[in-house]
Amino acid sequence: MSIPKLEFPPFHLPPEAEALRLDVRAFLKDIVPKIKTEDRFASWNTASPEFSRALGKKGWIGITWPKQYGGSEKSFLERYVVTEELLGNGAPAGAHWVADRQSGPLLLRFGSEEQRQAILPRITAGECFFSIGMSEPDSGSDLASVRTRAEPVPGGFRVNGTKVWTSGAHRNHYCITLVRTSGQHGDRHKGLSQLLVDLKTPGVTIRPIINLAGRHDWNEVTFNDAFIPESCLIGNEGDGWLQVTSELAFERSGPERFMQNFYVLRELVRVLGRNPSGRAASILGRLIARLWTLRQMSVAVAGMMQGGKSPAIEAALVKDLGTIYQQDLPEVARVIAESDATTDDDMADFLDIAQYATMMAPSYTIQGGTTQVLRGIVARGLGLR
């Protein structure tokens, strides 16, 4: 009986990815200040259709996809660099984020030719945005227990049920929705399918769910005898579970799991000034070292994926550590700023930022797989269950 050794082989992003980084960075330095958003501290959950269209024009959405669908056939590592530059430069990249990260790749892998041709070029142009229709009022971490039912009827499905925490449904075009197409509630992984749902379909109602910070990101999406044509079934009927779990892998492994509130660190540097006390410098440096480590881990995971491996445990470790870092960051930053900010004006401004970041922090260890679900995956990897 032996415990598998953890390895994160150091990995270099290739020269073409580093070259692309400079292009993306130059573009963002120019455009980000010109984009109006209501958020001062934009990230991957701040939507700006205007920004996404501009990024699409550069060819930086769906960058890995085949050219016939508007992609650039570049590597997963080049996508990685685009992603981290968006986060590092505070771009309001939320409108296209889910489509680029997981909905497009899902359609590419399992969708029909008709679906690909109809949707993918619009995603790469930055004109078509997606929501994720997984969670329900009674199904969160236990995703296989979904109750939304799609009953086969002539020409398609009649759908009834409710999805919740559906980010951006009020402004997005489609929602890839996990439904039960056969069998009974309790059949678990059997009988589930994914549907490509146009959010303007009659019988689909979208209501806001306001989060504790007063933001409207989430929605409740209700299906009331909504008719979804057969052509909108993704992949094979009954393969929904297999498809949805492959989608989750895309959802967990990216730099958005440790750079969502990068602005806090950047503003902390600003508020501490150019010549902080030794104590403040030390605390700042330790935060930077943690973030650097997370990036090394994440790049190592990207390297393993590029090499054809499936580092599910390593990806879970990155999300676990990364989201906890994101929760610690506003707290540690606030405490050191309280004692070490250089001017009162800076301080008032920074406290605002830190307070907002603190309010958003509980979501990090819940969305995309809770800490507890991730630790279950890691424990299985360690051979404990």
Q: Could you tell me the CA-to-CA distances from 87 to 46, 56, 183 in Å, in that order? A: 11, 17, 43
Q: How far is the CB of 316 from another protein (least distance, A)?
A: 8
- Measured distance CA(134)–CA(115) in Å, rounded: 20
Residue 361 interacts with another protein (CB under 8 A)? no
Q: Which of 106, 348, 121 is nearest to 240 (CA)?
A: 106
Residue 200 interacts with another protein (CB under 8 A)? no
Question: Tokens standing for 237?
Answer: 């009927």
Angle made by CA atoms 117, 119, 120, in degrees to the nearest 5: 75
Query: Which range binds another protein by CB under 8 A, 109-117, 153-161, 267-275, 343-351?
Result: 267-275
385 and 376 Cβ atoms separated by less than 8 Å = yes
For another protein, the closer CB: 140 or 273: 273
Residue 140 interacts with another protein (CB under 8 A)? no
For another protein, the closer CB: 228 or 272: 272
Q: How far is the CB of 41 from another protein (least distance, A)?
A: 13
Question: Tokens standing for 243?
Answer: 């498809």
Active-site residue, 251 included: yes
For another protein, the closer CB: 72 or 89: 89
- For residue 271, what are the contacts with CB-CB under 8 A and spacing of at least 6? 337, 341, 342, 346, 347, 349, 350
Query: Which range binds another protein by CB under 8 A, 111-119, 155-163, 189-197, 258-266?
Result: 258-266
In the region spanning residues 7 to 36, those forming contacts with another protein, defined by CB under 8 A, are: 7-10, 21
Query: Which range binds another protein by CB under 8 A, 173-181, 192-200, 217-225, 295-303?
Result: 295-303
CA within 13 Å, CB half, 347: 10
Neighbours of 105 (CB within 10 A): 22
**Block residue for tokens 């480590």:** 293
Q: How far is the CB of 63 from another protein (least distance, A)?
A: 18
Identify the residue among 117, 205, 231, 296 touching another protein (CB under 8 A).
296
- For residue 9, what are the contacts with CB-CB under 8 A and spacing of at least 6? 300, 303, 304
Residue 272 interacts with another protein (CB under 8 A)? yes
Residue 154 interacts with another protein (CB under 8 A)? no
Residue 267 interacts with another protein (CB under 8 A)? yes
Q: Which of 347, 330, 332, 348 is nearest to 282 (CA)?
A: 332
Task: Kindly tell me the burial class for residue 155, based on how many C-beta atoms sit within 10 Å of its own C-beta (0-12, 13-18, 19 or more).
Answer: exposed
Identify the residue among 26, 289, 335, 348 touching another protein (CB under 8 A).
289
Residue 42 interacts with another protein (CB under 8 A)? no
Identify the residue among 125, 317, 353, 361 touching another protein (CB under 8 A).
317
Query: Which range binds another protein by CB under 8 A, 92-100, 144-152, 173-181, 316-324?
Result: 316-324
In DSSP notation, 160-201 reads: EEEE-S-TTTTT-SEEEEEEE-SS-TT-TTTTEEEEEEETT-
Identify the residue among 265, 337, 341, 357 touching another protein (CB under 8 A).
265
Catalytic residue among 251, 256, 267, 314: 251
Residue 91 interacts with another protein (CB under 8 A)? no
Residue 384 interacts with another protein (CB under 8 A)? yes
Residue 109 interacts with another protein (CB under 8 A)? no
Distance of CA 202 to the CA centre of its chain: 28
Residue 284 interacts with another protein (CB under 8 A)? yes
User: Of all helices (H) and strands (E), which one includes residue 158?
Assistant: strand 156-163
Three-state DSSP at 275 gives coil
Catalytic residue IDs: 251
Interface residues toward another protein, by CB under 8 A: 1-3, 5-10, 21, 84, 88-89, 262, 265-267, 269-270, 272-276, 278, 280-286, 288-297, 300, 314, 317, 320-321, 372, 374-376, 378-379, 382-385
